[in-house]
Protein backbone atom coordinates (compact mmCIF):
# COMPACT_ATOMS: atom_id res chain seq x y z
CA UNK A 1 0.00 0.00 0.00
CA UNK A 2 2.91 2.34 0.66
CA UNK A 3 4.03 2.20 -2.99
CA UNK A 4 0.49 2.86 -4.23
CA UNK A 5 0.09 5.75 -1.80
CA UNK A 6 3.39 7.29 -2.95
CA UNK A 7 2.39 6.97 -6.61
CA UNK A 8 -0.94 8.67 -5.86
CA UNK A 9 0.87 11.39 -3.91
CA UNK A 10 3.23 12.07 -6.82
CA UNK A 11 0.28 12.27 -9.23
CA UNK A 12 -1.52 14.53 -6.75
CA UNK A 13 1.44 16.93 -6.74
CA UNK A 14 1.62 16.85 -10.55
CA UNK A 15 -2.08 17.77 -10.65
CA UNK A 16 -1.37 20.60 -8.25
CA UNK A 17 1.46 21.83 -10.46
CA UNK A 18 -0.84 21.76 -13.50
CA UNK A 19 -3.50 23.85 -11.77
CA UNK A 20 -1.36 26.42 -10.00
CA UNK A 21 1.26 26.58 -12.75
CA UNK A 22 -1.34 27.31 -15.43
CA UNK A 23 -2.99 29.84 -13.14
CA UNK A 24 0.25 31.70 -12.37
CA UNK A 25 1.33 31.77 -16.02
CA UNK A 26 -2.00 33.33 -17.05
CA UNK A 27 -2.86 35.44 -14.00
CA UNK A 28 -2.04 38.77 -15.69
CA UNK A 29 -4.14 38.02 -18.76
CA UNK A 30 -7.50 39.70 -19.22
CA UNK A 31 -8.81 37.05 -21.59
CA UNK A 32 -7.78 34.16 -23.81
CA UNK A 33 -7.46 31.73 -20.91
CA UNK A 34 -6.32 28.19 -21.61
CA UNK A 35 -8.24 25.92 -19.24
CA UNK A 36 -7.08 22.45 -20.30
CA UNK A 37 -4.34 22.14 -17.66
CA UNK A 38 -6.32 23.56 -14.73
CA UNK A 39 -9.27 21.27 -15.46
CA UNK A 40 -7.04 18.23 -15.98
CA UNK A 41 -5.05 19.02 -12.84
CA UNK A 42 -8.17 19.45 -10.72
CA UNK A 43 -9.61 16.15 -11.92
CA UNK A 44 -6.29 14.41 -11.17
CA UNK A 45 -6.22 16.01 -7.72
CA UNK A 46 -9.78 14.94 -6.90
CA UNK A 47 -9.24 11.33 -8.01
CA UNK A 48 -5.84 10.90 -6.35
CA UNK A 49 -6.98 12.69 -3.19
CA UNK A 50 -9.91 10.31 -2.81
CA UNK A 51 -7.59 7.36 -3.43
CA UNK A 52 -5.11 8.53 -0.80
CA UNK A 53 -7.94 9.11 1.67
CA UNK A 54 -9.12 5.53 1.16
CA UNK A 55 -5.61 4.17 1.71
CA UNK A 56 -5.16 6.25 4.87
CA UNK A 57 -8.48 5.00 6.24
CA UNK A 58 -7.60 1.39 5.43
CA UNK A 59 -4.07 1.36 6.81
CA UNK A 60 -3.91 3.81 9.73
CA UNK A 61 -5.48 3.16 13.12
CA UNK A 62 -6.44 6.80 13.68
CA UNK A 63 -7.78 7.18 10.17
CA UNK A 64 -7.81 10.35 8.18
CA UNK A 65 -8.80 13.82 9.35
CA UNK A 66 -12.22 13.69 7.70
CA UNK A 67 -13.11 17.30 8.48
CA UNK A 68 -9.98 18.61 6.79
CA UNK A 69 -10.29 16.28 3.81
CA UNK A 70 -13.99 17.09 3.46
CA UNK A 71 -13.24 20.81 3.32
CA UNK A 72 -10.48 20.19 0.78
CA UNK A 73 -12.82 18.02 -1.32
CA UNK A 74 -15.52 20.70 -1.42
CA UNK A 75 -13.01 23.41 -2.32
CA UNK A 76 -11.50 21.28 -5.10
CA UNK A 77 -14.96 20.46 -6.47
CA UNK A 78 -15.95 24.14 -6.49
CA UNK A 79 -12.65 25.03 -8.19
CA UNK A 80 -13.34 22.39 -10.85
CA UNK A 81 -16.83 23.77 -11.50
CA UNK A 82 -15.38 27.29 -11.75
CA UNK A 83 -12.74 26.07 -14.22
CA UNK A 84 -15.46 24.49 -16.39
CA UNK A 85 -17.47 27.73 -16.26
CA UNK A 86 -14.32 29.67 -17.20
CA UNK A 87 -13.83 27.37 -20.18
CA UNK A 88 -17.42 27.86 -21.32
CA UNK A 89 -17.21 31.63 -20.88
CA UNK A 90 -13.89 31.74 -22.73
CA UNK A 91 -15.38 29.82 -25.66
CA UNK A 92 -18.26 32.30 -25.79
CA UNK A 93 -15.81 35.21 -25.65
CA UNK A 94 -13.70 33.69 -28.42
CA UNK A 95 -16.77 33.41 -30.65
CA UNK A 96 -17.77 37.01 -29.92
CA UNK A 97 -20.91 36.08 -27.98
CA UNK A 98 -19.54 37.40 -24.68
CA UNK A 99 -17.20 40.11 -23.44
CA UNK A 100 -13.47 39.31 -23.69
CA UNK A 101 -13.16 39.34 -19.88
CA UNK A 102 -16.13 36.98 -19.33
CA UNK A 103 -13.95 34.13 -18.02
CA UNK A 104 -11.70 36.29 -15.84
CA UNK A 105 -13.46 36.02 -12.44
CA UNK A 106 -14.09 32.29 -12.82
CA UNK A 107 -10.53 31.49 -13.88
CA UNK A 108 -9.03 33.58 -11.07
CA UNK A 109 -11.41 32.11 -8.49
CA UNK A 110 -10.51 28.55 -9.50
CA UNK A 111 -6.79 29.33 -9.20
CA UNK A 112 -7.23 31.10 -5.88
CA UNK A 113 -9.19 28.15 -4.47
CA UNK A 114 -6.39 25.79 -5.53
CA UNK A 115 -3.95 27.92 -3.56
CA UNK A 116 -6.34 27.96 -0.59
CA UNK A 117 -6.39 24.15 -0.74
CA UNK A 118 -2.59 24.08 -0.50
CA UNK A 119 -2.73 26.38 2.53
CA UNK A 120 -5.31 24.12 4.19
CA UNK A 121 -3.19 21.04 3.48
CA UNK A 122 -0.11 22.62 5.04
CA UNK A 123 -1.51 24.67 7.90
CA UNK A 124 -4.41 22.55 9.20
CA UNK A 125 -2.88 19.95 11.50
What pLDDT is attached to residue 100? 86
What pLDDT is attached to residue 69? 94
Cβ contacts of 78 within 8 Å, gap of 6 or more: 113
Query: pLDDT at residue 111 above 90?
Result: yes
What pLDDT is attached to residue 60? 81
Query: pLDDT at residue 109 above 80?
Result: yes
Angle CA(38)–CA(39)–CA(40) in degrees, nearest 5?
A: 95
Query: pLDDT at residue 62 above 80?
Result: no
Q: pLDDT of 71-97, one tens digit each?
A: 999 999 999 999 999 999 999 999 999
Tell me what the mean pLDDT of segment 18-45 comes to: 96
What pLDDT is attached to residue 95? 93
What pLDDT is attached to residue 77? 98
From first CA to last CA, the distance across the chain in angstroms is: 23
What pLDDT is attached to residue 61? 77
Amino acid sequence: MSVLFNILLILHFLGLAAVIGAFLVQVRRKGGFQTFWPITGLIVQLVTGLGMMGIIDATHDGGANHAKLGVKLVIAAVALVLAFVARARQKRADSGAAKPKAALPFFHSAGALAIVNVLIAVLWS
